[in-house]
Structure 1
Amino acid sequence: NKTKAKTADYIDSVGAPAQYYAMLGEDNLLIEDLLIDGKENAAISNLVPGIAGGLFSHGLNGLPPSRSCDPLNDNDDDGVSYLTSRLTQEDILATNVADNGDGTITLTIQPKLSEMSVPGKDAQGRFFMTLGDITGVVDSISALSWASGDTASNILCHYMGGTGTIKIDTAAGEIVEADYNMVVKIEVNHANIAVIKDKSASLTIKYDMHYPASDEYMMENKSVKRA
């Protein structure tokens, strides 16, 4: 909370002065292990860029969960601010603390499993910036239809196995560096894709966030620089 409460001066994309979170992060999303009935399929693999594009575009956000670089506009779907951490002790599956011997400690946290996680609303969503309801993205894939049921009943999202590794300056009580590595296992049932009918599919999404963001990342992706 102390780290996320700090702001810093930046120059925004139109050259105007702005105040954003002092600790901003860079992110990347990968889709791996896309399988049909447990096997790779070239036709399905060609859909990966479209799936990834619908789920993700590079952001510039505060510590997760966060949807904005600007703390004044960083809110959930209910309009409640993300400025204060919502993580609870009950959300944590495993944790470890290591003394680095230089005035910092490294805290590793693994949150408990969540299904179809919503940012700020469950164990995974209170620790990571989860994807929320992805049924709309899946519905937009024109090559995909269902042999039975609908998108909501045929898509399962298991958020599990991801961790956060956070380095903290113990004297200041502030985060100096952090990596959040979220993992989502997605199962799809009764899928029709081209000549493939009524099949099961699975894929893994890995969403990585690193703090602080580099100057190069901020400029290349958001045309923002530190003042």
Structure 2
Amino acid sequence: MVDTTNLIPNTPRYLKVPLIAFNTILWVLGLVLVIIGSIGVSFFSNFKDFTKVSKASAALSNLTTGAPAGVLVIGIFFVILTVIGCFVAGKEKLVGLVIYTMLMLIILVALIGVGGKALTLHNDDVVKQIGNAWEDVSNGPKNSTILKLENFLKCCYWNSTSSRNPLLCPKDSKGIPKYTDTCDSVISSKISSNLYLVGAAAVSIGVIEFICMLFALFLIIRICRAPRTKSYDYQ
């Protein structure tokens, strides 16, 4: 049999220093997720009334509320977890490293879902869902919610082929439309960049997180093999 004892560095420093370095990178990427999630939550909070009156309220709620909030929560979790990871690695806390590794595994599963969804969810699919609901609400009795969104997004009508409801499209005192952009193009430009950012950040975090888990496991093995007192893990 092959002796794997020497495959792990004898000095914990060679394991914990890279682990701390990778955790620092993860902290930055987690902060990116927090920023993107916060922007998403703030942006889509203006769609609250629109989502309520839409026929596809459940799907839109998941898209406009659930997704940004999920990204924000994962980002906050990562910011906190990476700080803890740096601490337990620096102090070589065995119990802390075990808990850290388990939490990293759990969050990795969540990241696979978020990253995969963000990368596979095409921008056109998102805009199409919003567009279908937009047209329904525009032609319904509660189209005032559309006018509010048009003022917020600074756009007029959903697209160039939409019915020109005279009650919609913000106008100045002379009755001239204030905005020339259609709402589908405005929403598309705002969503597409954030979708790719979330997907790219999630994939990057997942790869680095896996490396962190390996270093943490190696450090756990090295600590377990090293002689220590019974109170070592609780100091």
The normalised TM-score by structure 1 is 0.22
Flag the structure with higher strand content. Answer: 1
Structure 2 length-normalised TM:
0.22
By relative contact order (CA 8 Å, sep 6+), the higher-ranking structure is 2
Larger Rg, first or second structure (1 or 2): 2
